Structures are given as C-alpha cells and as structure tokens.
C-alpha cells in the first residue's frame, strides 16, 4: 500500500521559532548574514534549505519573499509580485521536473490560523520522496462561480471546496499569463485580509500542477469546522454569487 501520511519530527518542531504569535521572538529571516543553505537568490528573494526539516522523507526549502519583515503579499508592488511568482513557480517546477521526488508541494502560510510559525513573508517548496500530494485532489475542487477571467486565466469562488465555506481558485492555462495569475492571487489575498465580512487575518495559498495547468487555491483560514474535522463534510456557503459580485465591485 502506498504511503498516505507524513511523519512529523516532534523534537525538531519544538525548536522552531514562533514569531507569528510571539512577536518578541527574533526573526530568523531578517538576519540575512546568518542564513545558511542558500540555494538561489533573485533580488531580495532567497531560496534556502529549511533549517528545521520537521517532515520525514522530504526535502524542505523556504522561499523568503522580501527583506521587509512586516510586508505581505497583498501589499507588494506589481513588479515585485510578478517577480516573486515567476521565481517561485520556476523553482517549484524545476524541483518537480528533476524526478527526484514522488511529488512537490508549493504553498504559503500567512497568519495565526494558517499553520505557519514565522511572520516574515515566505513560501515553502517541499519535495516528497514517497507521497503523492495530489492523491486527494479532485479537479472539481477548482470549479466555481467566475469572479473574473481573461485569456489563459480564470478566478473563481469554489462551489466544491475542499474544507468548506469560502475557497477561491485561480486557474492558469497559458503560462504567458503568469503575471495575470499573480494579480488575481493578490486581489484575493487583499480581499480576505481587508474586506471579508468575517474578521480574517490568516490565509493559505496552495499551488497544484495538473494536466499542464497551474491551479492555485486561496483559502481564508478560521477555526476549522467541526463537521469537517469529525466527518470530512465540507459546508458550502449559500451566498457565493454575492461574494463574487462584491469582489468584482471592489477590484474589477
């Protein structure tokens, strides 16, 4: 039977700094002179080996997005946003194309409910040696009410969310429009942090490479629904069209 779970190294996990919750903790990404295991760098963006590899059978890397610790993806200039997405996608697909791993995850945590530990803006690219990260991913997870679209890129709000309630998708079918994908992602993160009806300070980005397309799921994070935790049942909000219209009115 194929492996379907990851093992967490608890002893290493206890060593990780917690600068999201405890803002008095020194940020390890701000002291750039002490960074080790640097794999590549582009401007203020640095890809390096994760100093705290908590996952077994995995090659964990961190992509430091900027040298501005208090910044955030929804606030980046368009030039920096586009450069970041191009750099991150390039490194993710390079690791995938190396065939050294069964699958490669590319994701971002932001905020106290996101599962992250360090506030400084960063993403993670993780090569899994034995596990297929797409095993439980279905294409209908990316179907939804269209918010905006242009050639090669669609932005929607999911009608078949993985966890439930509001999940947003950006689907890229033409790599020439990678910048447009980045713009849609920024719009969605800005909406989540600044205009959502519920107070929301956390989100995740998850990137998927499926049938040659890039799918990005932008997920606002709250306390997880007990129906999903206990029974795996996602709940779907009944006002998706209203939320989609609100985003159009604010940004498009």
Give residue 166's pLDDT: 94
Give residue 1's pLDDT: 47
Domains of the chain: 10-128 (3.30.428.10), 139-251 (3.30.428.10)
The per-residue pLDDT for range 7-22, each reduced to its tens digit, is 888 888 777 766 555 5
pTM over 0.75: yes
Distance CA 157, CA 39 (A): 35
Q: List, edge to edge, every strand of the sheet that includes 144-150.
A: 38-42, 45-49, 58-64, 122-128, 103-110, 203-210, 213-220, 168-172, 153-158, 144-150
Distance CA 191, CA 43 (A): 27
* DSSP per-residue codes, 220-247: E--SPPHHHHHH---B--S-HHHHHHHH
Give residue 199's pLDDT: 75
Give residue 115's pLDDT: 86
Give residue 99's pLDDT: 95
Per-residue pLDDT of the chain (252 residues; tens, 9 = 90+): 456 788 888 888 777 766 555 566 778 899 898 999 999 999 999 999 999 889 999 999 999 999 999 999 999 999 999 999 999 999 999 999 999 999 999 999 999 999 888 889 999 999 999 999 999 999 999 999 999 999 999 999 999 999 999 999 999 999 999 999 999 999 999 999 999 876 799 999 999 999 999 999 999 999 899 999 999 999 999 999 999 999 999 999
Give residue 227's pLDDT: 94
Distance CA 209, CA 85 (A): 14
């Amino acid at each position: 039977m194929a492996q379907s779970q990851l093992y967490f190294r608890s002893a290493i996990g206890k060593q990780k700094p917690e600068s999201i919750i405890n803002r008095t903790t020194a940020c390890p990404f701000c002291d750039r002179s002490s960074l080790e295991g640097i794999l590549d760098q582009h401007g203020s963006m640095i890809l390096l080996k994760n100093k705290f590899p908590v996952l077994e059978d995995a090659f964990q890397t961190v992509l430091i997005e900027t040298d501005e610790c208090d910044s955030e993806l929804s606030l980046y200039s368009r030039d920096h946003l586009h450069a970041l997405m191009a750099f991150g996608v390039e490194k993710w697909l390079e690791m995938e194309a190396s065939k050294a791993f069964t699958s490669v995850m590319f994701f971002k945590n932001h905020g106290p409910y996101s599962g992250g530990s360090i506030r400084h803006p960063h993403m993670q690219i993780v090569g899994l040696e034995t596990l297929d990260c797409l095993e439980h991913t279905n294409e209908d997870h990316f179907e939804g009410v269209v918010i905006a679209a242009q050639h090669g890129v669609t932005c929607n709000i999911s009608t078949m969310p993985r966890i439930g309630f509001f999940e947003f998708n950006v689907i890229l079918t033409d790599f020439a429009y990678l910048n447009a994908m980045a713009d849609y992602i920024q719009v969605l993160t800005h909406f989540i942090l600044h205009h959502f009806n519920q107070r929301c300070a956390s989100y995740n980005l998850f990137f998927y490479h499926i049938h040659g397309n890039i799918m990005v799921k932008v997920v606002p994070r709250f306390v997880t629904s007990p129906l999903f935790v206990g029974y795996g049942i996602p709940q779907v909000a009944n006002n998706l069209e209203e939320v989609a219209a609100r985003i159009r009115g604010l940004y498009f």
